[in-house]
Structure 1
Amino acid sequence: MDIFLYTVTGLLVTTTLLPILRHSHWLVRGMDFPRMQLAGMATFVMMLQLFVLNLTEPLTWALIAVTALCLAWQLWWILPYTRLWKTEVRSSTDTDTRRQIRILTANVLTSNRDVHKLIALVKEYQPDVLVTLESDQWWEDQLKPLEKDMPETIKCPLDNLYGMHVYSRLPLYEKEISFLVEEGVPSMHALLELATGDQIRMHFVHPAPPSPTENTESIERDAELVIVAKSVAGSAQPIIVTGDLNDVAWSRTTRLFRKLSGLLDPRVGRGMFNTFHVDYPLLRWPLDHLFHSDHFTLQNIQRLPSIGSDHFPLLSCLSFTPIKGKGQDGLDADQDDKDFADSIARSQNVSKQEVPEPGE
């Protein structure tokens, strides 16, 4: 049992330290994902150490201390996405529905055929904007009935798992589809107009994940997020960025995106809202995201029931309350963050100038 605990502790230390490296290999970046699971593992291992090992030996306390440090490090990353943390975005008390925007983000899974489940959710929750990820021509054809109530659309059906569609009840202007970093991996950009006449700059993204079967490095995903963040940084416009980032909310890359962009995460202090994987409750992470500028406060955010995909849909309702939203603070980038972001963008030969800026 002692040897087992030494081995497990060593594995825990390795998986905890790997993400500290700035290496973009999928195995390194992949260790950003299971921080909840690793925190649970550290707790269990520490209990075993206390009950099984000889507490009179200095080595035992050294092992316990190392395990406790691993636990504390994992908790530092994930605690902001619990109710133990202060909320980053204020709750809205505004009842003017003309100033509200409801966005349903759904990775539908290309091979999924339960389209009726998504249509039922749209009818029940009446989002102003629906964005679908992994939607191909079949999905576009099946979602055609939605256009009666959501006539504003942006369509890019693809059969490579990166198709994307946007449906909106509200007017969309300056609509554009871009392939920012990788051929075949689109993003969508538009200017949305509320019933009040206020306009919101929208970006819909779905960068490819780092994995042994797709991109062995995370650099393509990271570069797309970096240039979108740089594009919106410092803008006075109301801005919303949403989609499947193929990254967890607490990862180094997503934190870098938040630091560079200045956008806020309404989940901070409210919960993780894990959207993937539907079939494995113990292996779920928040991969579907919505970030926004401080022009907004939060009405509601919730994970919706399964639509037959491997992702749950995410519904976010924001209020456009620019005066009440002032003073909401997110993360700040230091010079090291900016230099690191520059190196990521240079590695893919991309820049923020390639990101459409509707309304600018």
Structure 2
Amino acid sequence: MMSLIVFTVLALLLLVATLLPLSRNPHWLVRGMDFPRLQLAVLAAILLAAEVVLLDLSHPLGLISLGVTSFCLFWQIWWILPYTPFWPVEVKAAIDDNPERALSIITANVLTPNRNADALLALVQKCKPDVLVTLESDQWWQDRLDVLAEQMPHSIKCPLDNLYGMHVYSRLPLSEVTVDYLVEEDVPSMHALLTLRDGSNVRMHFLHPAPPSPTENPESAERDAELVVVARSVASSDQPVIVTGDLNDVAWSATTRLFRKLSGLLDPRVGRGMYNTFHADYRIARWPLDHLFHSDHFTVRSIERMPHIGSDHFALLTRLVYAPVRGADQNGLEADGDDRGWADEVADAKDVEASDTPRPGKEFSIYWVNSISKCKKY
């Protein structure tokens, strides 16, 4: 009888962890349960196997425990399955070898106290990305990364000491650049128009919203609001669009799915893999926090998680090809009325609007009048 009680309690605890994310409560503990879905699925599988072997399934408690654990296992798998090769890809594989239409981006949260800049610079020299995006980069990091200026002469710089510094180094021209503070006054985002080698322009948004955590924001409201306003700002754009950065949210969470639904952007990882980028030092506690989403103008050549650079994040290398004809029938997630209502609540809670987000390109001149273009110091 004791084993029945123990297994039932474990199954119920697993059920609580499984059901918590269904709530839209922004508290960090609730939102944090979005992250370890893979780990919870593994725990559920282990518990289920133990129940089958050890429990008296003729007892009602045994059946309840088995049923609850089975539900938890299949529910967690449902969320993470799209990020495995068992799911159809959302973005087509690139077939165009024209380098004029290629775009490669390394997205790297360097971890401010990390002083292994040589490792990141070695990655850049090896992979030769068109764009390097760094998060948590302060003045020390800027001083080291500026050696890239000769090969990557176009840049956006915002060195900060508060873990939200950000830099962009690019081989390709950047224009209509702004550094903005969309939701929080000390958390910047960057926005620019990038010109490909064939002359096509791509609207770029580089983000690093603050995470919900007991040491930073106790709720996810700020992060969610930034994702919502950026998503809404690109939704009606007919330009090629890329959004990348450390979003401090996992790929399968309800809030990241809301971002994809509102924006219409695609996730090239769907059907290919999770590409877990955090935590670099703990194999059993990893999930995908660093992202790149794009419009259907692109197909994907490759996605690769980079080797350890001393940070708590792995860098992510994404190689895309601008192929609007081939990508025209690619479809992502679609928003419904409930999604739009939820987005209204998120934006209203922080008093932000889609018009607060810069729109590099044909609408940019209108926005520029009120743009905050300088990097604030904290």
Instruction: Report the Cα offset of residue 228 of structure 1.
Output: 0.2
1:359 aligned residue = 361
Of residues 10, 16, 19, the one that matches 1:17 is 19
Match for residue 186 of structure 1 among 175, 185, 188: 188
Give the match's secondary structure for 1:145. helix
Residue 62 of structure 1, CA deviation: 2.1
SS of 1:322 mapped into structure 2: coil
Q: Which string of whole-angstrom CA distances, capped at 9 and with x for unpartnered residues, describes residues 158-200 of structure 1?
A: 0000000000000001000000000110000000001100000
Could you say which residue in structure 2 is the equivalent of 1:335? 337
Residue in structure 2 matching 1:93, options 92, 95, 104: 95
Within 5 A, what are the aligned runs for 1:225-236?
Answer: 225-236=227-238
Give, in whole Å, the separation in 1 of the partners of 2:57 and 2:177.
65
- The residue number in structure 1 matching 2:50 is 48
Q: How does 1:160-179 map to 2 (within 5 A)?
A: 160-179=162-181
Which residue number corresponds to residue 60 of structure 1? 62
Q: Which moved more, 1:49-58 or 1:185-194?
A: 49-58
Q: Distance in 2 between matches of 1:325 and 1:28?
A: 37
Q: Deviations over 1:78-128 (max 9, x none)?
A: 000000000000000100011000000000000001000000000000000
The whole-number CA distance in structure 2 between the counterparts of 1:116 and 1:157 is 18
Greater shift, 60-69 or 167-176, is seen at 60-69
Q: 1:124 aligns with which of 116, 123, 126?
A: 126
Q: 2:260 aligns with which of 258, 261, 281?
A: 258
Q: Structure 2 matches for 1:193-342, cutoff 5 A?
A: 193-342=195-344
Residue identity opposite 2:334 in structure 1? D
Question: 1: CA distance between counterparts of 2:126 and 2:80?
Answer: 32
Alpha-carbon shift at residue 36 of structure 1 (Å): 0.3
Distance in 2, Cα, partners of 1:114 & 1:346? 41
Q: How many residues align?
A: 360
Residue identity in the other structure for 1:325: G
- Per-residue CA deviation, residues 186-225 of structure 1 (Å, 9 max, x unaligned), is 0000000011000000000000000001000000000000
* Counterpart in the other structure of 1:4: 6
Report the TM-score, using the length of structure 2 for normalisation.
0.95
Distance in 2, Cα, partners of 1:357 & 1:144: 27
Q: Which residue of 2 aligns with 1:147?
A: 149
Deviation of the 1:63 alpha carbon: 1.7
Q: d(CA) in 1 for partners of 2:346 and 2:178?
A: 24
Offset of 1:304 from its aligned partner? 0.5
Letter in 2 for 1:101: L
Structure 2: distance between partners of 1:138 and 1:63: 54
Query: 2:93–2:301: 8 Å Cα contact kept in structure 1?
Result: yes
Displacement of 1:59 = 2.6
2-structure distance, mates of 1:123, 1:225? 32
What is the alpha-carbon distance in structure 2 between the residues aligned to residue 200 and residue 26 of structure 1?
Answer: 34
The Cα of 1:2 is off from its aligned counterpart by 2.5
**Residue in 2 aligned with 1:27?**
29
1:222 counterpart letter in structure 2: D
Distance 1:111 1:66 in 2: 44
- Report the alpha carbon displacement of residue 297 of structure 1 after superposing the two structures with TM: 0.2
Aligned residues with identical type, % of pairs: 61
Q: How many angstroms apart in 2 are the aligned matches of 1:141 and 1:198? A: 31
Residues in 2 aligned to 1:200 and 1:54: alpha-carbon distance in whole angstroms: 61
CA distance in structure 2 between the aligned counterparts of 1:59 and 1:4, rounded to whole angstroms: 10
CA distance in structure 2 between the partners assigned to 1:153 and 1:41 by the alignment: 45
Structure 2: how far apart are the matches of 1:83 and 1:194?
Answer: 30
1:137 Cα shift? 0.3
How far, CA to CA, are the matches of 2:107 and 2:71 in structure 1?
36
C-alpha displacement of 1:58? 2.8
Q: For the residues of structure 1 that align with 2:254 and 2:100, how far apart are their CA atoms?
A: 36
Secondary structure of the structure 2 residue equivalent to 1:268: coil
Q: Which moved more, 1:44-53 or 1:118-127?
A: 44-53
Question: How many angstroms apart in 1 are the aligned matches of 2:269 and 2:204?
Answer: 19
Q: CA deviation at 1:3?
A: 2.6
Q: What's the CA shift for 1:262?
A: 0.2
